Structure 1
Amino acid sequence: MKKLLLLITVFTFFVSCKNEQKEAVKTETTKENSLPPVDNEMMESAVIYEANIRQYSPEGSFDAFTKDIPQLKELGVKVIWLMPMYPISEKNRKATGGRDVEDIEDPEERKKYLGSYYSISDYKAVNPEHGTMEDFDELVETAHQNGMYVILDWVANHTGWDHQWITDHPDWYTQNEKGEIVDPINQDTGESWGWTDVADLNFDNQEMRKAMIEDMIFWVKEHDVDGFRADAAHSVPTDFWETAAKKIKEVKPVFMLAEAESPKDLFHNAFDMGYNWEGHHLMNSIAKGEANAKDWDNYMKKVDSTFQKDDFLMNFVTNHDENSWAGTVKERMGDASEAMLAMSYTLPGMPLIYSGQEYDMDKRLKFFEKDTIAKTKGKVYPILEKLGELKANNPALHGGKDAASYTAVKTSADKKILAYKREKAGAVIYYVANMSDKPVSFSTEIEGTFKDYIPGAEIKIAKDQKLEFKPWEYKILINK
């Protein structure tokens, strides 16, 4: 009997040692595969990709997106922003056309309405329509193995009506004089925004703030995400974001993106990057002939005087809001689309690719129901490849906290021709574009021999030489 006990003890010890060795190997492997922490250097040359998991594939699953992550390296993507992938509330769920799902009598008709991504019923879970938490973890790990960071869309302003906080902590929500929880109110008008599928959170309640920060930390600590895109960041008190960022960064460095019309007050202690909404709207206006190249020069002077040197913005020609509500790139920008795309990469800041943009998507994705993207490479994909390569490798396009300089270049047709120079560490890039729908003959201060980057040809420009640009023609010129 004693011999038997001795054998069992030895066997148990041997198995335990083997398990410890396996665990050590596993831990070491994880360390080898892990991505270096978010830092300023990464931000200088990064491209950010907005992933709409629901619409990215016919399956609408984490797995379907994960298998395509290695391909995103071809586009220079370094940050993946996942649109909300949490469970969606069923109560007060919205349908297409402004209807409430509850008002639809046909049960089969009701089933197709999946609700708004931004009506969240649980901050610490994943939408089962996309898969499991293990599937989500695999997505994050695959991104890290491919040199990409993952940030989550964080909806702090409101929750869905099914959120457990509604039942457990009604005082965490904004209430009217009758003590009823209300949907978000436009502070300027005192009226509802019409977002009746969500309940407005009360940021005067410190316990709610604490719980929300704990939920954000959950994703960083337990699932290794690398930061957050803050939905409607301007609608939430800045001191909340400052406290949240400080607490989260005690776990690890993270990347913080603010969705805000005027993000200048949200930087430094809270966010790394803000939306370039004003610049985007101006791009749309130029494409429609409602504004011109001179207006852009004036806008950049405003940016220079408004923001601090290490503030930077996200540049885009489309995103989920623009695509679903304002129109496709072609609808808004027409023949100017490619010039605006190239411009978004050559400006100071970080360029955005929205799911489907790389595949020439020319339809408005449905917002409240299932849709999908036809993943066929056309004209845009190879352009994004070239722009991504340039952004990644040429310091003249650094756009983060230590961005390359931006200097407006004079031309003889300043209202129609937009020209500017980016420069850093001896590298120089010029962007020159006809921002009109008519041919333009002009001269410019630019002089020398350059590589015309997109076609890859050499081009010589003499002093006072007359240049002829077709409507919306552009050139990215690299010093040789």
Structure 2
Amino acid sequence: MPHTRLLLLLAALTWTACATNPSSGDPAGGRPPPPSGSQGEIEPVAGTEWYRKAVFYEVFVRSFQDSNGDGKGDLPGLISRLDYLNDGNPETQDDLGVDALWLMPVFASPSYHGYDVVDYERINPDYGTLEDFERLCEEAHRRGMRIIIDFVINHSGVQHPWFVESASSPSSPKRDWYVWGPRDPGWKQPWDMFSTAPTWHQKNGAYYYGVFWGGMPDLNMRTPALREEVKRLASLWLARGVDGFRLDAARYLIETGGGAGQYDTAETHAFWKELAAHVRQVKPDAVLVGENWSTTPIIATYYGDTGGVPGGDELPLNFNFPLSEQILAGLNADNAAFIAAKLVEMGGVYPAGISDAPILTNHDMVRVATQLGGNGGRKANAAALLLTLPGTPFLYYGEEVGMTNGTTSNDEAKRTPMPWDGTPKGGFTTGTPWFGFSPGHASGSSVAAQTDVAESLLSRYRKLIHVRQASEVLSRGGLQVLSATTGRAPSLAFVRLLGDEQVLVVHNVTDSSVSVGPYNLPGSKAEVLFEDRGVGTLTRASNGWQATLPGRATGIWRLQP
């Protein structure tokens, strides 16, 4: 959502810092991994759907590429840049290599961000036509990429015909498509207990519920006719070529009252299971991705029951906001224990076989490069961490070239135009960009400046994505933490596991050289999958594997008999 959740983030961070997590190794990382099935082990993903081994790329269409000179990105512009994302040839290494695109809202909307939808069947005219959208799906599929779109059904825009009719009279046939009451009950915004922003808004002698603001009234998903309409719309867009949906504000869908009744209700879970079953019936390999910005144990519940459906019968992917917070905190503190502890906690509470959806940042967050202070080594760490974790990683457009936030404090500053080159118009438009470029686009933080530079951040992302895709263990395997989860840990080490295959991954999160290991893992020789410059040879001593890594370096090795 385009509204801040700062207090929720702070609460989640505080909760994580206070949680007690078992250590799976001594400070030197020398103990063997915990036995199979113990707390802290993340199991390999269940199911064989395409998305369980994909790398996603989040696109804000308005900011990606303008094709007609009006300063706003559009669908034809995005089509023109598909080869940058994936050229369809697995033998090439000069594309980014992502497997799927998540498009932020593309439906008709009066706002720049699109989360106040006024027509769920029509493409935003700023972006093009339905024919443009269908061509985008065809061209992406031809290159081996999938497309998912933001499906914003927690609320609509206040100008949507459904709401206009609902508000027209208490006897309107669509009155119960929204949440109405005779008075304001004084509910708070559930992510901010101290908020004074209203959640009930007066209209025509009554009050309607709009948890974010009055311009986005909440839909009443208790109403059977609305539920059926939402399922019809999902079927429509699946038939038009999409491969799934990202679900905005998923934990706030159905309310049972104020306070705790505004989030994570049993009714919300029941609806997501209903929608998931419908989507599986219409297109069995389509994916639903949940935005459930909360603590790790709460996010775990949104996978549902894994007994009958591999990976869960509710939302197959859920963004891992708590892990993002610990990655950024750990990198800024030069301490991998923050990250290791979160991974151990995930292993203890996530259902076996689910697919995580790790991120660094997204469109609601201050960009990762800004949060890391523009530090090149930390940005390199972040890329390597994201692309060696289990699950289905999501990149936010521009992260691969180190895009920072814009110079303003609003949400638009998190969503500035993509810097294709260092010219004043950035290769983004021939007109005037709808919003200014973020700092640095003219001094190295652009695609053109980094494309042919072997040590650039863009080259690093490209190489790591291709390494991940070439390894079933990295793309589908489980994980066991080898590093310390308390105190200070200069490196994060874990082993990725799938069947009999094991891949050792070590990240040095400090600026100094570190000696890592010994790691008591099987194998007699190591095949290098990825090594930063200066990483020493991984050797097998009597007490385990060990190596030396220079500052901010990563090593990835397949351990062989």
TM-based fold match above 0.5: yes
Residues 79-108 of structure 1: CA distance to partner in whole angstroms, max 9, x if unpaired?
21111011113xxxxxxxxxxxxxxxxxxx
SS of equivalent residue, structure 1 residue 299: helix
Counterpart-to-counterpart distance in 2, 1:123 and 1:183: 28
> By how many angstroms is 1:458 displaced?
8.0
Counterpart among 43, 61, 67 of residue 51 in structure 2: 43
1:195 aligns with 2:213: yes
The structure-2 alpha-carbon separation of the partners of 1:44 and 1:115, relative to structure 1 and needing over 3 Å to count, comes to: closer
Percent identical among aligned pairs is 23
* Cα deviation 1:326-380 (Å, max 9, x = unaligned): 8746448763121121111111111112212233323349745994211224222
Maintained 8 Å contact 2:179/2:218: yes
Unaligned runs of 5+ in 1: 1-38, 90-113
Q: Structure 2 matches for 1:161-200, cutoff 5 A?
A: 161-170=158-167, 171=175, 172-178=177-183, 185-186=189-190, 189=193, 192=199, 194-200=212-218
Moved more, 142-151 or 64-73: 64-73
Task: Indicate the residue corresponding to 1:361 in structure 2.
Answer: 403
Three-state SS of the structure 2 residue aligned to 1:77 is coil
After TM superposition, the structure 1 stretch with the greater mean CA deviation from structure 2, 411-420 or 343-352, is 411-420
Deviation (angstroms), 1:322: 1.8
Is residue 483 of structure 2 the alignment partner of residue 407 of structure 1? no
Provide the rounded CA distance (Å) in 2 between the counterparts of 1:368 and 1:361.
Answer: 14
Q: Which has the higher contact order (CA 8 A, sep 6+)?
A: 2
Q: Following the alignment from structure 2 to structure 1, what is the Cα–Cα distance between the partners of residues 398 and 392?
A: 18
The residue that corresponds to 1:214 in the other structure is 232
1:232 and 2:249 are equivalent in the alignment: yes
- Residue 346 in structure 1 maps to residue 388 in structure 2: yes
Segments of structure 2 that go 5 or more residues without pairing to the other structure are 1-46, 68-72, 87-94, 168-174, 200-210, 254-267, 304-311, 421-446, 451-455
Rg (Cα) greater in structure: 1
Amino acid corresponding to residue 302 of structure 2 in structure 1: L
CA distance in 2, matches of 1:406, 1:451: 18
Q: Which residue of 1 aligns with 2:139?
A: 142
Correspondence list, 1:444-455, <5 A: 444-445=518-519, 448-451=525-528, 453-455=530-532
Question: Match for 1:151 among 133, 140, 148?
Answer: 148
Shift of residue 448 of structure 1? 4.3
Task: Provide the residue aligned with 1:478 in structure 2.
Answer: 558
Q: Corresponding residue for 1:111?
A: none
Specify the alignment match of 2:379 in structure 1: 337
8 Å contact 2:536–2:548 — kept in the other structure? no
Structure 2 contact 158–216 (Cα < 8 Å) conserved: yes
Structure 1 residues 116 and 195: CA distance shift in structure 2, 3 A? farther
Cα displacement string for residues 306-339 of structure 1 (whole angstroms, at most 9, x for unaligned residues): 1111212111222212246x87464487631211
In structure 1, give the amino acid aligned to 2:190.
N
Q: How does 1:378-417 map to 2 (within 5 A)?
A: 378=450, 379-399=456-476, 404-410=477-483, 415-417=489-491
Equivalent pair of 2:390/2:479 in contact (CA under 8 Å): yes
Counterpart AA for 1:220: L
Are 1:260 and 2:292 counterparts?
yes
Q: Distance in 1 between matches of 2:369 and 2:484?
A: 33
Against the structure 1 CA distance between its residues 367 and 88, is the aligned structure 2 distance closer, same or farther, given a 3 Å change threshold?
Answer: farther
Deviations 1:203-249 (A, max 9, x none): 2322222222222221112x121110111111121211111122222
**Per-residue deviation, 1:185:** 4.2
The alignment covers a number of residue pairs equal to: 410
**In the aligned structure 1, how far is the partner of 2:382 from the partner of 2:389?**
10
Matched, 1:424 2:437: no
- Indicate the residue corresponding to 2:222 in structure 1: 204
- Are 2:116 and 1:71 aligned? no
Measure the CA separation in 1 of the matches of 2:552 and 2:274: 45
- Equivalent in 311, 314, 322 of residue 278 of structure 1: 322
Post-superposition Cα deviations, 1:132-188, rounded to whole Å, max 9, x if no partner, equal 1100110011111111111111111111111011122342212243489x9994387
The alpha-carbon distance between structure 1 residues 295 and 354, as it changes in their structure 2 partners (threshold 3 A), is closer
- What is the distance in 1 between the residues matched to 2:252 and 2:482? 38
Aligned-partner Cα distance in 2 for 1:220–1:58: 26
TM-score norm. by structure 1 comes to 0.77
**Normalising by structure 2, what TM-score?**
0.66
1:138 partner SS: helix
Cα distance in 2 for partners of 1:188, 1:381 equals 37
Change (3 A) 1:185 1:217: farther
Residue 429 of structure 1: SS of its match in structure 2?
strand
The code of the aligned residue for 1:177 comes to P
- Distance in 1, matches of 2:191 and 2:372, equals 34
- Once structures 1 and 2 are overlaid, which stretch shifts more, 446-455 or 430-439? 446-455
Change (3 A) 1:286 1:436: same
Q: Is the 2:108–2:123 contact (alpha carbons within 8 Å) kept by the matching residues of 1?
A: yes
The CA distance in 1 between the partners of 2:496 and 2:361, in whole Å, is: 24
The structure richer in helix per residue is 1
Please name the residue that 1:316 is paired with.
Answer: 359
**Counterpart amino acid of 1:349?**
G
Q: Which amino acid is 1:385 matched to? A: R
In structure 1, the residue matched to 2:418 is 373
The residue identity in structure 2 corresponding to 1:390 is: V
Per the TM alignment, residue 62 of structure 1 is displaced from its structure 2 partner at its CA by 0.2
- The answer as to whether partners of 2:532 and 2:555 remain within 8 angstroms in 1 is no
Matched residue, 2:347: 304
- Alpha-carbon RMSD across the aligned residues, in angstroms, is 3.1
Note the C-alpha offset of 1:440: 3.5
Question: What's the secondary structure of 1:129's corresponding residue?
Answer: coil
